[in-house]
Amino acid sequence: MIMHWILAITNACNALKYVTRFSCDIFGFYVAFIYLQKGIQVLTRQGSEAPFYLSIVVALLVLVIGYLCGVIGTSPLFQHYIRVFIKDYGTPLTVIFLTGFVHIGKMREVSLSTLPTSKAFFPTLDRGWFIHFWDIRVGDVFIAIPFAILLTILFYFDHNVSSLIAQGTEFPLRKPAGFHWDIFLLGITTGVAGLLGIPFPNGLIPQAPFHTDSLCVTKVVADPNEEGANKGHVVTKVDHVVEQRVSNLAQGLLTLGTMSGPLLIVLHLIPQGVLAGLFFVMGVQALEGNGITLKILFLCKDRSLTPKSEPLKRIQRRLAIWVFIAIQLVGFGATFAITQTIAAVGFPIIILLLIPFRTFALPKWFTDEELRLLDAPTASPFTMISVGGNFGESLDDLDSPVVGRSGDETAVQSGGSDGMLVGDTAEESDEGAAERGEGPGAGMKRRESWRAEGRSGSTMEPEPPPTYISSPTPLHFLDCAILEPYLPQNRDSNESGAVYPHVTLTYAQSLDGQISLQPGAQTVLSGPETKAMTHYLRSRHAGIIVGAGTAKADNPGLNTRYSEDGINVVGFERQPRPFILDPSGSMGVGHTPKLFALAESGQGKPPCWIVTGSRVNEHMENRVRGVGGKVFEVGEYDIYREQGMDWGAVLRQMKTDGVESVMIEGGGQVIKDLLRRKNQMYISSVIVTIAPTYLGAGGVAVAPKRSAWTENEVSLRGIKWMPLGQDVVMAAFII
Ligand SMILES: NC(=O)C1=CN([C@@H]2O[C@H](COP(=O)(O)OP(=O)(O)OC[C@H]3O[C@@H](n4cnc5c(N)ncnc54)[C@H](O)[C@@H]3O)[C@@H](O)[C@H]2O)C=CC1
Ligand SMILES: Nc1nc(O)c(N)c(N[C@@H]2O[C@H](COP(=O)(O)O)[C@@H](O)[C@H]2O)n1
- Over residues 29-50, the pLDDT tens digits come to 998 999 999 999 999 999 888 9
Q: What is the mean pLDDT of residues 314-342?
A: 93
The runs of H, that is alpha helices, within 563-667 are 593-600, 618-626, 647-656
CA 151 to chain centre: 32
CA distances for 190 relative to 7, 193, 194, 195, 514, angstroms: 14, 5, 6, 9, 54
Please identify, by atom number, the ligand 2 atom nearest to the C-alpha of residue 530. 1
Residues in the chain: 735
**pLDDT confidence of residue 427:** 34
Query: Ligand 2 in contact with 508 (CB < 6 A)?
Result: yes
Q: What is the mean predicted confidence (pLDDT) over 460-489?
A: 58
Q: Does pLDDT of 140 surpass 60?
A: yes
Q: Is the CB of 546 under 6 A from ligand 2?
A: yes
**Nearest alpha-carbon partner for 19 in 156, 208, 204, 171:** 156
| Atom 17 of ligand 2: nearest residue by CA position | 556
Share of the chain above pLDDT 70, in %: 83
What is the tens place of the pLDDT at every residue in 600-646?
888 889 999 999 876 778 888 999 999 999 999 988 776 656 678 89
If you average pLDDT over each of 15-24, 200-209, 337-346, 533-542, which comes out highest?
Answer: 533-542
Residue 100 pLDDT > 90 = yes
Is the model's pLDDT at 463 over the cut of 60? no
Does residue 94 surpass a pLDDT of 60?
yes
- Please give the backbone phi and psi of residue 522, each rounded to the nearest 5 degrees, phi first: -70, 130
489 CA to centre of ligand 1 in angstroms: 28
**Highest mean pLDDT range out of 373-382, 452-461, 500-509?**
500-509
- Average pLDDT estimate for 155-183: 84
Q: At what angle do helices 2-9 and 179-196 cross, to 10 degrees?
A: 170
- Reply yes or no on whether the pLDDT at 399 is more than 60: no
Query: Is any atom of ligand 2 closer than 6 Å to the C-beta of 547?
Result: no
Please tell me whether residue 733 adopts helix, strand or coil conformation. strand
Give the model's pLDDT for residue 460: 34
Residue type, 639: I
Is any ligand 2 atom within 6 A of the Cβ of residue 558?
yes
Ranked by mean pLDDT, the top range of 58-67, 81-90, 419-428 is 58-67
- State in Å: Cα 681 to ligand 2 middle: 25
Q: Is the pLDDT of residue 450 over 70?
A: no
**Protein residues with CB under 6 Å of any ligand 1 atom:** 507-508, 515-516, 519-523, 525, 546-550, 553-554, 581-584, 586, 644-645, 665-670, 673, 700
- Alpha carbons 689 and 515: distance in angstroms, whole number: 10
Helix (H) or strand (E) holding 530: helix 528-539
Say yes or no: CB of residue 434 within 6 Å of ligand 2.
no
Distance (angstroms) between ligand 1 centre and the Cα of 668 equals 5
Rounded to the nearest angstrom, the gap between the alpha carbon of residue 237 and the centroid of all alpha carbons in its chain is 11
- Smallest CA separation from ligand 2 atom 12, residue: 556
Q: What is the pLDDT of residue 346?
A: 77
Q: What average pLDDT does the segment 386-412 reach? A: 43
Q: Which residue has the higher pLDDT, 539 or 442?
A: 539
Q: Residue 221: which pLDDT band, with cuts at 50, 70 and 90?
A: low
- Span 651-674, average pLDDT: 94
Q: CA torsion sign, 716 to 721 to 722 to 724?
A: positive
pLDDT of residue 231: 53
Residue nearest to atom 14 of ligand 1 (CA): 668
Across 123-127, 260-264, 310-314, which has the greatest mean pLDDT? 260-264
Which is the closest atom of ligand 1 to the Cα of 548?
Answer: 22
CA atoms of 36 and 173, how far apart (whole Å)? 30
pLDDT at res. 65: 96
- Calculate mean pLDDT across residues 367-375: 89
Residue 419 is predicted with a pLDDT of 26
**Could you tell me if the CB of 190 is within 6 A of ligand 2?**
no
Residue 217 three-state SS? strand
CA pair distance 278, 58, nearest whole angstrom:
10
Please report which ligand is nearest the Cα atom of 507.
1
Atom of ligand 1 nearest to the CA of 669: 18
Whether residue 699 has its Cβ less than 6 Å from ligand 2: no
Which of 617, 643, 650, 670 most suits a substitution to test ligand 1, by most atoms within 8 Å of the C-beta? 670
pLDDT band at residue 134 under the 50/70/90 scheme: confident
Q: Is the C-beta atom of 665 inside 6 A of ligand 2?
A: yes
Q: How far is the CA of 639 from the centre of ligand 2 (A)?
A: 26
**8 Å CB contact between 665 and 550:** yes
Determine contact, residues 380/454, Cβ cutoff 8 Å: yes
Q: How confident is the model at residue 309 (pLDDT cuts 50, 70, 90)?
A: low
pLDDT at residue 11, rounded to an integer: 92
The reply to whether ligand 2 has any atom less than 6 angstroms from the CB of 557 is yes
Amino acid at 402: V
Tell me which ligand sits closest to the C-alpha of residue 525: 2
Out of 468, 558, 562, 700, mutate this one to test ligand 2's pocket (max ligand atoms within 8 Å of CB): namely 558
Among 428, 554, 594, which is best to mutate for testing ligand 2, by the most ligand atoms less than 8 A from CB?
554
Pick from 171-180, 379-388, 612-621: least confident? 379-388
- Gap between the Cα atoms of 155 and 390, Å rounded: 21
Q: How far is the CA of 167 from the centre of ligand 1 (A)?
A: 24
In this predicted structure, the answer to whether residue 455 has a pLDDT above a threshold of 80 is no
If one compares 723 and 566, the residue with the highest pLDDT of the two is: 723
The tens digit of pLDDT for each residue in 488-511 reads 988 888 766 788 999 999 999 999
Tell me, in angstroms, the distance from the centre of ligand 1 to residue 548's CA: 6
* Rg of the chain on CA atoms, in Å: 29
Residues 6+ apart with CB under 8 A from 122: none
Nearest atom, ligand 2, residue 422 CA: 16
Q: Which atom of ligand 2 is nearest to the CA of 551?
A: 20
What spacing in Å lies between the alpha carbon of 300 and ligand 1's midpoint? Answer: 34
Is 142 or 602 the better-scoring residue by pLDDT? 142
Write down the pLDDT at residue 607. Answer: 96
User: DSSP label at 346?
Assistant: G
Distance (angstroms) between ligand 2 centre and the Cα of 421 equals 7
Instruction: Give the per-residue pLDDT at 393.
Output: 53
* Model confidence band, residue 710 (pLDDT cutoffs 50, 70, 90): low
Q: Which long-range contacts (CB under 8 A, 24 or more apart) does 605-609 make?
A: 605/559, 605/572, 605/575, 605/576, 605/577, 605/578, 606/577, 606/630, 607/558, 607/577, 607/578, 607/579, 607/580, 608/543, 608/577, 608/578, 608/579, 608/580, 608/632, 608/657, 609/579, 609/580, 609/582
Taking alpha carbons only, the member of 374, 345, 390 closest to residue 151 is 345
Q: Whose CA is nearest to atom 22 of ligand 2?
A: 665
On the CB side of 548, CA atoms within 13 Å amount to 19
User: At 230, is the pLDDT very low, low, confident or very high (cuts 50, 70, 90)?
Assistant: low
| Ligand 1, atom 5, residue with closest C-alpha | 515
pLDDT over threshold 50, residue 234: yes
Mean pLDDT of the region 21-36: 92
Integer angstrom CA distances of residue 363 from 359, 366, 369, 371:
7, 5, 10, 7
Q: Tens of pLDDT along 251-285?
A: 889 888 988 999 999 999 999 999 999 999 999 99
Q: How far is the CA of 102 from the centre of ligand 2 (A)?
A: 62
Q: How confident is the model at residue 181 (pLDDT cuts 50, 70, 90)?
A: very high
What is the distance in A from the centroid of ligand 1 to the CA of 431? 28
* Mean pLDDT, rounded, of the chain: 81
Compute, in angstroms, the gap from residue 667 CA to the centroid of ligand 1: 3
